[in-house]
Structure 1
Amino acid sequence: MFAELHGKFDARHPETADRSEDLLTSAVFGALRHLPRAAVVALCGAVGVPVDPHAARGARVLLWPQVPMPKWPGKVIEPDVLIVVGKQPVVFEAKLHSPFGYYLEPNAPTEPQLHQLAVQYAAVCAWAAGERLLPPVIVAVTAPQQRPTTDLDRAAHDVLRLCPGTDARVFRWLPWWRIAEVLSHLPELRPHERTLVDDVLAYMEMRGVRRVFNGFKPEDYWLVSAAQRVAGERVYPQVQNFVEDLAAVLDDDGIGWSQPSYRSMWLPLGASTSKPTDWTRGWVGVEFWPKEWPKRHGKLGSHLSLYMLFDFLDPALEVGLSIPGPGVAAAQVHWQDLLAKLVVALRELPAGYELVVDPGDVSRPTRVQDAATVDEDWFSGTISVLTTTAHLRLRRRVDPLQATVQQARELMLGLRDELNAIGDVWWDLVRAVGYLAPGGEHPS
């Protein structure tokens, strides 16, 4: 589980795709072995098997047990999971992408093949009788939202050839997302147990089996719809007015658009299908560059800028300096010797400045530190995440509902003046990774 979570195992690779089903089974039901037995009670309850909590204390969770098939001498059946709680055995046969299998009956090779679930019932039923247990319940675990009716009906039909009189209700269905619900609602877990559950749920999320579409709540959908309409009709036009007014007054102060020929807003990019939390518009802003400052160089260098943005997730009006991440290797080679001077310079800034690192989404920083308390260790740790999508930012933030154009102007001018006062410390940093044009010097 941990290997796949950390990218060490790729289930999409052809050589390993057939193992992905077993890995999922191992992760989920393997974790069940180490959780309080209330988890077993809840899981059995989800398939309609009542369990005495006292009997559950001695429950056994067996993965891929070898169960002899007495009617077929020498044949061993291997269900994915066998849980024995009290007198009741429950078999879970888990599928992800592959179909259920079929067995050729050795004693009747000309007869139609028998469904995998029917054969598992016959084998475990015989084993349970020898252990003085009740007949088993067989549970098909699948990823699709729809009940696998065809497979369950075929199993109920085929089992009559092996165990006449068996009730079709011994075959039941449990989707993976329902198991995730059971795990997520377990009460009174200790910290290490909660960590285990969180890891399993994250793994199920990554494999695409944790959630399923169950319809929208009307109030939720209309809340999103209303928010989008209000943003488009009322909020964004006001942001536009704010930016145009701010750009006009800053131009008088010698601060122009970061890219004068391309006067556009600075907006979030990307909407990965696997991360719906990123679909929100978390921020919108604009980039500036003082006219007296040196010319920038290269694609990344062009996004070295002063900026102003509205943060919608952690509400604030934010003004700052953004340095695009040069890449971990470049930062390690070129920045390490400059950090001591930068730390000293940061401690001379007025109160209220923060140093921030984000992986690319400005409204979701991964590291936030008061500039006055930053040290070389903090910077050394930061360098390891400065990919070319990241930003290193020096910022100040104020209440957006009380913000004015004049306040944003004063914050921008203050930041420019502070950076000028620091001198070449910042410019050595950005020059070292090629963000300034050759020969470009700071006027100070």
Structure 2
Amino acid sequence: MGLFDKFEKNAALYNQLSAIGKNPFTVVMEEVLGPTRAKIKGRETVLAGTHNYLGQTFERSAIEAAKQALDHEGTGTTGSRVANGTFSGHTKLESDLANFLGMDQCIVFSTGYAANLGAIAGFVDRVQDVVLIDADCHACIYDGCQLSGAETIRFRHNDPENLDKRLSRLDPKYNGKLVCIEGMYSMYGDVAPVKEFVEVAHKHGAHLLVDEAHSFGVYGETGKGVCEADGVMDSVDFYTGTFSKSLAAIGGFLASNHPEAEYLRFSSNPYRFTASPSPATIASANAALANISENPVFREKLWENANRLHAALTQFGLRLAAKPGPVISVLLPTKEDAFAAWDFLLEHGVYVNMAIPPGTPGKESLLRLAVSSAHSADDIDRLVSAYEAMAEAFPSARVTSDA
């Protein structure tokens, strides 16, 4: 088998889309006009696939903080956290995140991907331990398991009872047990029953890691995520998140009340051997954290927009994957339907994400709309109008298809 033979199937699809000239995986934002608008193919387009949930990308305080960091500390750290790559901004952000979450400690990684990769591979021993993960977990969680080398067991999506059975049947040889779930799953926008998972995991002496990448800042009374909404912030063992969604930057973190979590700093390769986030990135993330923790209006506006959009798309009869939330996904039966519908929306001045198997749960394709607090009334009107037209043009996207 040749080195590139493995790409044959994906390459065929990629070349097919490229030949048409509207490949959804190669969209270029030619000019960014604001948090919810950009020029794509020369036309002003409403952005509804950016995960800029709390609209922080153009908040003045975050931009000014980044500029000051550039002026005072330069463009990059040129080193990892354990070499020369830890600046005062890194430790301040770790302290501020820990305080916001009400946890004892926090470790900042270079990306959210690296946070999960580094946490799982750092905590889990390939011989003595086992990892149990929700079947719909993100690729970084799967990759963390692979990097750890430990046995990995999947359980049914959002099914604490199935996890209970899996834990009950484990070989007693395992010393450590780590369970990994997400707060909100990014493809469908569905939310985990975190409280039930805490109870099941701890009943069997397992530790629970909850990735709140897409739910941080969004769920809970003060934006701490689904863990807060379920009242189990004090019970979750490890809390991971990213800066690239609600904090509108690049980076990630792990927070915990276990003092042993600090050992990751010299035990986790994705932490030790990756250059640390730039000063400007850290400064803007910290400013965004202050904004969303001090101003609930961002979260309130997001939910106002999400509820309005979900209600409208429901009224149009579209097949929605989950209850109202910051991610609203429309299910379609085939990748051809998904591509055509995605292209239809783009032609109507709306950019969303298209996802197809194997990158989606099950065998269905979907169009994923990411709601932002920065979406104006006019943005929402345009989204509603475009989806109404799509519902008429694509019967296969509706709950009762007359195709």
Pick the TM interval, shorter chain. under 0.3
Larger C-alpha radius of gyration, 1 or 2? Answer: 1
Give the structure-1-normalised TM-score. 0.23
Q: Highest relative contact order (Cα 8 Å, sep 6+), 1 or 2?
A: 2
